[in-house]
Structure 1
Amino acid sequence: MGALKIGLQLYTVRDSAEKDFEGTLRAVAAMNYEGVEFAGYGGKSAEELKALLTELGLTAIGSHISLEQLENNLEGEIEYLKTIGARYGVLPYLQENDRGSDEKWLALIEKLERFGEAFRKEGLIFGYHNHDFEFTEKLDGNYVFDTIYEKVSPERLQVEMDIGWVQYSGLDPLAYIAKYKGRLPLLHLKDYRKGEPGEQIDTVELGQGDLDLPSIIASAEEADVEWIIVEQDRCANPPLEAVKTSREWLSENYKS
């Protein structure tokens, strides 16, 4: 059990990154984030991005890669990750037309096997990032989330657990972290306040929502998580200000 490393999913600051990708990375590095997880590369070549990350002292954790990109440019995505020194490629989300039936989930599982094998052969790690629908839909009598990991081998698929969505779905986040010990290198810390039924999830800065973050972080250490990754879907405050607040909360409340 080692100290957790602290990263940021750059989707959180997507508006800033779209206007000034390099400036956004510089701001994130100045906040003492140790690494970043990408959701797009700001139009930079892999070589350019590698040089910038080296200059800033930021680790490339990995990248969120859409199903369409994985299907149409798998080799290119893998090569880009290798060049920037990243270890993880993660499928972050499924559109509604890619899920919702046993047939669609089974087809996805076949794809996850294929993608994961391609990553494994190149020395990289493939993962899947959950939302809430993996806990509202079932396959083979279990939540889809669990069935996916039962059917795809750990060598081909690791867990990137979004702990906010786990709790939002009414499940015990500490139990789920413990359940996937040894297969859970990446944990997304997404704090939120649960509103009225039917409302969108209200994501907030760390420490301002419903999650028992100290217990979650302690459980992550016990489960051999490598990276805890800050992510906020929508920010009431300016996103760069929000992720700075979250990083400061971690500095004050987590001593590695």
Structure 2
Amino acid sequence: MKRRQFIQQSSSLLASSIFLSRTATWESMLTTKPLGLQLFTLFNIIDQDVPGNLKKVADLGIKELESAFSFKPMFYGYTGKEFKSLTNNLGLNWVSHHVMGAPLKPRPGFDASKMPKFLTLKTDASQIVDNVAEAGIKYLVCANIPIESKSEVSEAVDTLGKSAELAKKAGLTFCYHNHDAEFKLIDGQRAFDVFSSQISSDLMKFELDLGWATKAGENIVELFKKQPGRFPLCHIKDFDTDFKNIVPVGQGIVNYVPIFKAASIGGLQHYFLEHDMPKDAFESIRLGKSALDKIL
């Protein structure tokens, strides 16, 4: 073989091996991350039969769980250790827990009297942190907090900062979960930017709701690049063409392929399906998992 031909073929083989190793790494990164479920998807039904509903979740191939508030105290009527044991026995890994940042602000026409009294970070941070730490899970997530004015954003920074300090002392990783409102200008500022700059990344990470961020018009890949590694958790949801209704993942318009390709930049470790108040929760989970299996 002539020297020039040898060099050309060697270069081609080297390039191919690099491409294949990168492809293998990319595929491995995705396929080894088990798909999880945010249990708010089952909010209307989970309390009726907690063990039975969790078994249905496991039977659908879901591997990880993120719990949320419900009509029952603590964790769906269980202590942290009891709920941990229940999920482990079903082959489910309980990873994180959602809590409210502050008491609910009822919308016009909403009857708040039918809702239970939820613990919130503003009023019960120490108790919440103790409960989650005792459960033996890693992440505590603020699900929402009032941010409709500059003063509310300022109050939110105070509440989140104090809660994050308590969580860190207890060995927990504290995260904030967004909707679309965090990316809208309110009195000349975006709450997401305020939270990012005023609360250290050592104290607070983000659970990026990819669906809500997409609805807000956010470029998620660029967001990952601006704050690499700050997004260990994410929510996966989908919307119809007008972003008016949440639909099962794969039935809407959110393109997850470029987002997942940038997963390592953002630091994504846990992926939770979520569908707020679906007509058929288990069918939505089945459709979403099927769609994601094809993407991944």
Question: Scaled by the length of structure 1, what TM-score is found?
Answer: 0.88
Q: Following the alignment from structure 1 to structure 2, what is the Cα–Cα distance between the partners of residues 186 and 201? A: 25
Letter aligned with residue 153 of structure 2: W
Structure 1 residue 142, shift from structure 2 partner: 4.4
Instruction: Tell whether 2:138 aligns with 1:87.
Output: yes
> What's the Cα RMSD here?
1.9
Unaligned runs of 5+ in 2: 1-24, 70-74, 103-119
Which of 81, 96, 106 in structure 2 is aligned with 1:47? 81
Letter aligned with residue 158 of structure 1: K
Structure 1 residue 90, shift from structure 2 partner: 0.9
Q: Match of 1:7? A: 36
Q: What CA deviation, in whole Å up to 9, does each residue of 1:3-49 have, x standing for no partner?
A: 43321100011122021112111111122212111113211122221
Q: Match of 1:242? A: 284
Q: Following the alignment from structure 2 to structure 1, what is the Cα–Cα distance between the partners of residues 231 and 34? A: 14
Q: Match of 1:174? A: 221
| Counterpart contact for 2:165–2:203, Cα < 8 Å | yes
Q: Following the alignment from structure 1 to structure 2, what is the Cα–Cα distance between the partners of residues 224 and 67? A: 24
Q: Following the alignment from structure 1 to structure 2, what is the Cα–Cα distance between the partners of residues 46 and 109? A: 28
Which gives a bigger RCO, structure 1 or 2 (Cα 8 Å, sep 6+)?
A: 1
Cα separation, partners in 2 of 1:127 and 1:172, compared to 1, 3 Å: same
Cα separation, partners in 2 of 1:134 and 1:225, compared to 1, 3 Å: same
Paired residues for 1:1-256 under 5 Å: 2-3=29-30, 4-40=33-69, 41-68=75-102, 69-94=120-145, 98-138=146-186, 142-195=189-242, 201-236=244-279, 238-254=280-296
Q: Following the alignment from structure 1 to structure 2, what is the Cα–Cα distance between the partners of residues 222 and 182? A: 6
Q: Following the alignment from structure 2 to structure 1, what is the Cα–Cα distance between the partners of residues 134 and 56? A: 23
Bigger Rg over Cα: 2
Q: Following the alignment from structure 2 to structure 1, what is the Cα–Cα distance between the partners of residues 149 and 292? A: 40
| Counterpart contact for 1:137–1:143, Cα < 8 Å | yes
Q: What CA deviation, in whole Å up to 9, does each residue of 1:46-79 have, x standing for no partner?
A: 2221210120121111111012422333232222
Q: What CA deviation, in whole Å up to 9, does each residue of 1:70-119 have, x standing for no partner?
A: 2333232222222332111111112xxx3322222112101111000000
Q: Secondary structure at the match of 1:15?
A: coil
Q: Following the alignment from structure 1 to structure 2, what is the Cα–Cα distance between the partners of residues 213 and 175? A: 14
Unaligned runs of 5+ in 1: none
